[in-house]
Chain A
Amino acid sequence: DAGVIQSPRHEVTEMGQEVTLRCKPISGHDYLFWYRQTMMRGLELLIYFNNNVPIDDSGMPEDRFSAKMPNASFSTLKIQPSEPRDSAVYFCASSYTSGGAGFTDTQYFGPGTRLTVL
């Protein structure tokens, strides 16, 4: 498997512009997570989906952020309008719930998208 795929790898945009980050999870995985990494705040969860349904979006900073998962193989994270404080590395991760007693689910991360908002 190719692993979690994210695009673009780098994005430079100007304040006020719309930014769309994309993620393709590992085939067969039923959970998808969006994280953000900054020097100040470390790794923080933004939102996660189970079977394409958003489960917890309490980490989404504000209404400027939105995420969708239209099908099991694709998710987007959109920022509109973008601001300089949104500059960070955004990671997508996916995991598989193996089921049964004592199951565990390891999250596998994509390479990240480095976003710079000028």
Chain B
Amino acid sequence: AQSVAQPEDQVNVAEGNPLTVKCTYSVSGNPYLFWYVQYPNRGLQFLLKYITGDNLVKGSYGFEAEFNKSQTSFHLKKPSALVSDSALYFCAVRAPTGRRALTFGSGTRLQVQP
């Protein structure tokens, strides 16, 4: 079975500082990894994904994520946080074959203080 862990319920960071939202996963085979963001009363918006290739993946709104196979991690990062980045962030994983549905983590609330 596949699973995702987001160990922090909330991350607080000051505007302009770098941010990291942590994610670790468990899956059979090489993982397909995704980050989504959810703003209040909205659906999930796709940020970025890792399928294969370069371990550093760049996505929307200046976000990037680093795939680390040995640590089974896929942490989301941004060099300089904005107040508008405040939202709920979900990491998701699926195996490359078989079940198509994503398994989501519990979510991490990012709060960027001005």
Residues of the A chain whose Cβ atoms lie less than 8 Å from the Cβ of B52: 102
Main secondary structure, interface of A, reads strand
**Inter-chain contact A106/B101, CB cutoff 8 Å:** no
A105 interface contact, C-beta 8 A: yes
Q: Is the C-beta of A54 less than 8 angstroms from some C-beta in chain B?
A: no
Query: A42–B64 Cα gap in the complex (Å)?
Result: 24
| Cβ contacts A25-48/B at 8 Å (1 or 0 each) | 000000101000000001101001
Task: Report yes or no: B49 in contact with A56, Cβ–Cβ below 8 A.
Answer: no
A116 at the interface (CB under 8 A from B): no
Q: How large is the interface on B (under 10, 10 to 19, 20 to 34, 35 or more residues)?
A: 20 to 34
Does B102 lie within 8 Å of A107, measured CB to CB? yes
Q: How far is the CA of A102 from the CA of B103 in the complex (A)?
A: 20
Q: Which of B42, B49, B104 contacts A106 (CB 8 A)?
A: B49
Interface pair A56/B107, CB less than 8 Å apart? no
Residues of B whose CB lies within 8 Å of any CB of A are 32, 34, 36, 42-46, 49, 51-52, 90, 99-107
24 sampled A-B residue pairs with Cβ under 8 A: A42-B104, A42-B106, A43-B90, A43-B107, A45-B101, A45-B102, A48-B100, A48-B101, A55-B100, A56-B99, A56-B101, A59-B101, A93-B44, A102-B51, A106-B34, A106-B46, A107-B46, A107-B102, A109-B36, A109-B44, A109-B45, A110-B43, A111-B42, A112-B42
